Amino acid sequence: MGYLYGFIAIAVIVIIIKFNSRRVTIFEYERGLKYSKGKFSKILEPGQYWYFPYFDSVIKVDIRPNFISIPGQEVLSSDGVTLKVSLAANYEITDPNTAINTVQSSSGSMYLELQLALRNIIGLRDIDTILEHKEEISKALFEQTHEKIAALGLNLISVDVKDIMFPGKLKEIFSQVVSARKEGQAALERARGETAALRNLANAAKMLDDNPNLMQLRALQTMGESSGNTLVFGVSPQSINVPVKNKANDK
């Protein structure tokens, strides 16, 4: 009878365990946070685990890289221009315990850190520098925030400036500046072309003065290249020796 009671007791325990335990599967792109009686116990790596929901609980955390977009934030440049700057950030969870148990929202805290850093960086630069060096702003954002974001259990992979928007009047002014700059460049190119043409003409005139025969050679070359044209040479009377008859001798 003792064996029978023992067998029944074991069977009851197995039934209790079976109906009161839960199985959880942690996938490769996840990590599990196990809590025992409300206290953090350990991080579960990918695999299958059994736990008792009366005492334990498991929270699964996705650790794949994620993107967030920060819409246009109104910031003030060093020369008093109000801009709207939007950002795009790529991050991943590297420490699930810190990311979940340390702050209420790690992504929200990262969002705020990027906003504050953006205001600080834009406020130290004038509008021309901001427009010409967008890449430097993105680099400065990463350098100023990645350590603070790492303290949240996150790894900031990249952060980039997406768009810089201006007020309507300022946009018109910049369009006029760009148009004037293009017109000035075109006028400069025309002036350079005219200067080069005048220089070539001056060199040609000097060559003709030094070598008068070049004009005749050039004329002959032109006649050889074209047909049906009449070319008249002007010859000075001094260059022609005309014999003059002596009337006394004729008599």
**Of the listed ranges 158-172, 174-188, 193-207, the one predicted with least confidence:** 174-188
Pairing of strands 30-36, 56-62: antiparallel
Distance in angstroms (rounded) separating the CA atoms of residues 87 and 141 = 10
Residue 133 has a pLDDT of 83
Number of CB atoms found within 10 A of residue 104's CB:
7
Give the contacts of 158 (CB within 8 A, at least 6 positions apart). Answer: 89, 90, 142
**Of the listed ranges 25-39, 75-89, 178-192, the one predicted with least confidence:** 178-192
**Of the listed ranges 112-126, 153-167, 189-203, the one predicted with least confidence:** 189-203
H or E element that contains 155 = strand 154-165
Average pLDDT over residues 217-241: 56
Higher pLDDT, 183 or 173: 183
Distance in angstroms (rounded) separating the CA atoms of residues 122 and 131 = 11
**Backbone phi, psi, residue 48, to 5°:** -115, 140
C-alpha triplet 111, 115, 117: angle, nearest 5°: 120
Q: What is the mean pLDDT of the chain?
A: 78
Residue recorded with tokens 């007020």: 167
pTM of the shown model: 0.61
Distance in angstroms (rounded) separating the CA atoms of residues 86 and 163 = 5
Distance in angstroms (rounded) separating the CA atoms of residues 171 and 166 = 6
Closest-CA residue to 41 (of 30, 52, 25)? 52
Distance in angstroms (rounded) separating the CA atoms of residues 16 and 163 = 60
Amino acid identity at 7: F
Query: Strands, DSSP E only, in 5-153?
Result: 22-26, 30-36, 39-44, 47-51, 56-62, 66-76, 82-93
Closest-CA residue to 233 (of 247, 219, 251, 222)? 219
